Amino acid sequence: AQSVTQLDSHVSVSEGTPVLLRCNYSSSYSPSLFWYVQHPNKGLQLLLKYTSAATLVKGINGFEAEFKKSETSFHLTKPSAHMSDAAEYFCVVSHSGGGADGLTFGKGTHLIIQP
């Protein structure tokens, strides 16, 4: 069985300051891990993915995430927040070889950017 826990339901940061969204996972398999972003009334967009290559993954819009097997974590970071980053972020784990039924979505973290 696999699971994913997003440790914060809401994160508030000031524009220009760093962003940290935390995600822990558990998986019996070698997992693939993803971060998706959802802006209001929009679908989900892939930010980045980890598929057992480099542990530090760079994504779009300046986001990156580091896979730490020993800590079973896949935290999302960005050095400097922008107002356009305000959105819902989902950490997703997928076991190897699976289809959509093999996906487990986190509950989401709502990122608020203060001007």
Identity of residue 5: T
Nearer to other proteins, 97 or 115 (CB): 97
Instruction: Give the nearest distance from C-beta 43 to other proteins in angstroms.
Output: 3
Instruction: Give the nearest distance from C-beta 97 to other proteins in angstroms.
Output: 6
Binding residues for other proteins (CB under 8 A): 32, 36, 41-46, 49, 51, 90, 94-103, 105-108
Of the CA atoms within 13 Å of residue 8, those in its CB half-sphere come to 15
Nearer to other proteins, 15 or 38 (CB): 38
Instruction: Give the nearest distance from C-beta 94 to other proteins in angstroms.
Output: 5
Pair of tokens at residue 9 = 């339901």
The C-alpha atoms of residue 16 and residue 30 are separated, in whole angstroms, by: 35
Q: What are phi and psi of 71, to 5 degrees?
A: -105, 0
- What letter would DSSP give residue 102? G
Query: Which 3 state secondary structure label does DSSP give 45?
Result: strand
Nearer to other proteins, 25 or 81 (CB): 25
Nearer to other proteins, 46 or 83 (CB): 46
Query: Which 3 state secondary structure label does DSSP give 7?
Result: coil
Instruction: Give the nearest distance from C-beta 87 to other proteins in angstroms.
Output: 13
